[in-house]
Amino acid sequence: MKISFHGAAHRVTGSCSLIQCGDRRILVDCGMIQGDEKAPELNREDFPFDPASLDAVVLTHGHLDHVGRVPRLIDEGFTGPIFAHPATGSLAEIVWRDSVRLSSYQGKPLYSEEAVEKTTQLIQPLRYADPVQLGDVELRAYDAGHILGSAHVLVSYQGKRLLMSGDIGQPDTPIIRDPNRQWDQPVDAVVIESTYGNRLHKDRQATVDEFKQIVTRAVASKGMVLIPAFAIGRSQELLFHFNHMVDSGQIPKIPVLLDSPMAQKVTAIYRAHRECYDEETWAQIDRDDPPMRFPGLRELVSADESRAVEHMAPPAIIIAGSGMCTGGRIVHHLKYFLDRESTSVLFVGWQGYGTLGRRLVDGLDKIRLYGRSIEVRAKIETLGGFSAHADREDLVAWASQIPGPPAAFLANHGEEDAAQGLVEAMTKAGLSGCQAVEPEQSFEL
């Protein structure tokens, strides 16, 4: 068995690993490269393998940086099965269609709507603990607790077992289960993500408490509360918390507007896949309190409904994309509400350099939007603790309970410092064969 890293080495996007088991070639993830000025060209570069020569593709989860380039494989001759958890298949389809829509605004799309159509037809289910046989290779998925349907994938061939972590969730993420801890077979080598390999998150409960305090204060000032949020995972988590706040009377029953067509589609998939829920969420459903539905929640579908928000009487809470205010309906709301002192803008995710979100977090008092200069009088709040990723401690704990013990831990999906930080922490915890992978590096098992 051999693994080669063709993406997400020294970086957190563009995941793409090729596993060769004898003559069989399996690609795990094929994500979009993001957050790099050269990304548009990098995403168009030739693959360092022939897509037509692949026997199968496996998807660990539906985020763009793990699935974004898959339709390109089909355009370039891949015709085999794409194994994914059913929730991942549904999320990936939304992500691909959104990517076609976005890239058609920016010039030449990376792939066509037809390619997406063909891609979705190749998807076959890979459910948790329901292994799939591909000749003499076995694929087994375990819950990764990162987003709905996310999976660690165990690849077994001739007595060797390689575990691909995919993205590993933070324990206690609402709605979905925690990352798997029940392993039924020993593992020889592990590829482990290292996004936060050198950092620790703030305590989750403290973050939720702080979030609730900020929202309560913002609502009390009787203005609009704007929350830029990504469509997959974070938006559903926010709905989960608002559900609790409304039910427990922490905030009055004011309109909570989910103003993102993509987040609405994703939320529908989250609502449909109850088999992925954790025990707390099931208990909540048993009490007849579904986790992402509550009085006051409105999903704004059309652009007209979204524009009508300008004329609404505050207070109201508006959750809209994009998460870094680089586009989407949030930008229109900022244009109308940023110059009001009663407005609060609450950032619940990391803001990339050069984005509008980052400029607001950095405290600019004037910004230009649609050719107009706008004074920022709104209160800008940032909350750092929400994350869909395990931190250094969680990663080491996750790695330490894998039976074998594995002879190698290969850290990918992290900036160089983060991957190196995780390697040091895992080595210190007594794990053997820890190293950070280099771009295009291969390992023989």
DSSP 20-56: EETTEEEEE--PPP-SSTTHHHHTTSPPSS-GGG-SE
- Least Cβ distance, residue 293 to Zn ion (angstroms): 25
- Give the C-alpha separation, 90 to 427, whole Å: 38
CA 237 from chain centre, in angstroms, equals 12
- Least Cβ distance, residue 390 to Zn ion (angstroms): 11
- Least Cβ distance, residue 87 to Zn ion (angstroms): 13
Query: Nearer to Zn ion by C-beta: 64 or 115?
Result: 64
- Least Cβ distance, residue 154 to Zn ion (angstroms): 19
- Least Cβ distance, residue 178 to Zn ion (angstroms): 16
Size of the site for Zn ion (CB under 5 A): 2
User: Per the omega criterion (within 30 degrees of 0), is the bond before 403 cis?
Assistant: no
Query: Which residues in the 117-176 window bind Zn ion by CB under 5 A?
Result: 167
- Least Cβ distance, residue 92 to Zn ion (angstroms): 12
Query: Nearer to Zn ion by C-beta: 223 or 349?
Result: 349
Which of 176, 183, 80, 165 is closest to 129 using CA atoms? 183
Query: Nearer to Zn ion by C-beta: 56 or 390?
Result: 390
Query: Which residues in the 165-184 window bind Zn ion by CB under 5 A?
Result: 167
Query: Nearer to Zn ion by C-beta: 147 or 187?
Result: 147
- Least Cβ distance, residue 8 to Zn ion (angstroms): 11
- Give the C-alpha separation, 239 to 257, whole Å: 10
3-state DSSP call for residue 211? helix
- Least Cβ distance, residue 61 to Zn ion (angstroms): 6
115: left (phi over 0), alpha (psi -120 to 50) or beta: alpha
Query: Nearer to Zn ion by C-beta: 64 or 226?
Result: 64
319: DSSP letter: E
Query: Nearer to Zn ion by C-beta: 236 or 243?
Result: 236
Number of other CB atoms surrounding residue 114 within 10 Å: 12
Query: Which residues in the 44-83 window bind Zn ion by CB under 5 A?
Result: 63
Q: Which H/E stretch holds residue 62? A: none
Query: Nearer to Zn ion by C-beta: 63 or 72?
Result: 63
3-state DSSP call for residue 205? helix
Number of other CB atoms surrounding residue 200 within 10 Å: 10
Query: Which residues in the 414-433 window bind Zn ion by CB under 5 A?
Result: none
Radius of gyration of the chain (CA): 22
Query: Nearer to Zn ion by C-beta: 25 or 413?
Result: 413
- Least Cβ distance, residue 196 to Zn ion (angstroms): 12
Query: Nearer to Zn ion by C-beta: 143 or 167?
Result: 167
Long-range own/partner contacts, residues 354-358 (CB < 8 A, 24 or more apart): 355/324, 355/325, 355/326, 356/324, 356/325, 356/326, 356/331, 357/228, 357/323, 357/324, 357/325, 357/326, 358/324
Which of 79, 52, 78, 58 is closest to 139 using CA atoms? 58
3-state DSSP call for residue 209? helix
For residue 394, state whether it binds Zn ion (rule: CB under 5 A): no
- Least Cβ distance, residue 64 to Zn ion (angstroms): 9
203 backbone dihedrals φ, ψ, rounded to 5° = -55, 135
Query: Nearer to Zn ion by C-beta: 92 or 226?
Result: 92
Q: Which residues bind Zn ion (CB under 5 A)?
A: 63, 167
